[in-house]
């Protein structure tokens, strides 16, 4: 696929933003499946809840599990883009963000192929980026940093049904986060306005509703053996 029309040219390399990657009907199908997910399947964190499909990534290798057919449809849609080079997506992280919920600045770390693809459902959000310190790049795990210590350099608005792909320096050299707010005031640090489906004005205030994100990635190291966790 030629991504030249979807490149976000006003931020460091490389972000690709595709509005309406899925249809409204597909969005409702996914949301209905997620709504019916049994509560024990969810992992409850302090500020949000999530589900791992495909297995749980681990430094010793991910014990691969089958991804449900309704979700595998969208994994294959991502695989058809060939964004993981010779690899295929084998893991989906479902995050639920209610208004006022977010995620601290972090990197996805070395457990994944260095490309992130995220489908947004139900609501917009604003993804914020800050620079990663040089001494942090030697870490062997996902990094999470206190948001108060980070200067936000630029932002992306993620619309419902959109696909965001992050790779290259945006994967390795920057932290990304979502502020814990109930509404977003649009500003000049958002650098993908021209890629969006909707037309926005500076100063517009967008109220958040519940957002579901599907982060579809490749975990290179997998195993069929039971893992020992220490």
What would the DSSP string read from start to end of 185-199? Answer: E--TTB--GGG-SS-
- pLDDT, position 23: 98
Cα 65 to Cα 63: distance, rounded to the nearest angstrom: 6
Angle among Cα 142, 69, 84 to the nearest 5 degrees reads 40
Mean pLDDT (the chain, rounded): 92
Question: Tokens 């949301």 identify what position?
Answer: 31
Give the pLDDT mean for 73-79: 98
- For 20-52, the pLDDT digits (tens) are 999 999 999 999 999 999 999 999 999 899 999
The answer to whether 118 and 82 are in contact (CB under 8 A) is: no
Domain coordinates in residue numbering, the chain: 15-134+145-217
- pLDDT, position 230: 45
Span 15-134+145-217 CATH architecture: Sandwich (2.60)
- For 129-160, the pLDDT digits (tens) are 999 986 555 444 455 555 556 799 999 999 99
- pLDDT, position 28: 98
In the predicted model, is pLDDT for residue 226 greater than 70?
no
- For 166-218, the pLDDT digits (tens) are 999 999 999 999 999 999 999 999 999 999 999 999 999 999 999 999 999 99
Give the pLDDT mean for 47-64: 95
Residues with Cβ within 8 Å of residue 158, at least 6 apart in sequence: 17, 118, 120, 124, 125, 126, 127, 164
Give the pLDDT mean for 66-78: 97
pTM greater than the 0.85 cutoff: yes
Least confident of 4-18, 96-110, 122-136: 122-136
In the predicted model, is pLDDT for residue 2 greater than 60?
yes
């Amino acid at each position: 696929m030629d991504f030249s029309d979807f490149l976000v040219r006003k931020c460091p390399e490389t972000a690709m933003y595709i509005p309406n990657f899925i249809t409204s009907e597909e969005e409702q199908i996914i949301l209905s499946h997620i709504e019916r997910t049994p509560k024990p399947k969810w992992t409850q964190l302090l500020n949000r809840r999530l589900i791992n499909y495909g297995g749980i990534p681990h430094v010793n290798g991910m014990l691969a599990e089958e991804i449900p057919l309704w979700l595998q449809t969208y994994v294959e849609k991502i695989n058809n883009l060939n964004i993981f080079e010779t690899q295929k997506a084998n893991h989906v992280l479902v995050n639920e963000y209610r208004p006022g919920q977010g995620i601290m600045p972090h990197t996805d770390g070395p457990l994944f192929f260095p490309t992130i693809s995220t489908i947004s459902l139900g609501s917009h959000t604003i993804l914020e980026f800050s620079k990663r310190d040089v001494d942090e790049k030697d870490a062997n795990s996902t990094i999470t940093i206190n948001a108060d210590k980070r200067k936000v350099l630029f932002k992306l608005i993620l619309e419902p049904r959109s696909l965001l792909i992050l790779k290259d320096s945006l994967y390795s050299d920057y932290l990304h986060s979502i502020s814990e707010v109930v509404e977003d005031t649009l500003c000049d640090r958002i650098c993908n306005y021209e890629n969006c489906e909707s037309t926005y004005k500076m100063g517009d205030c967008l109220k958040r509703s519940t957002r579901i994100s599907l982060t579809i990635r490749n975990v290179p190291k997998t195993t069929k053996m039971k893992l020992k966790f220490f």
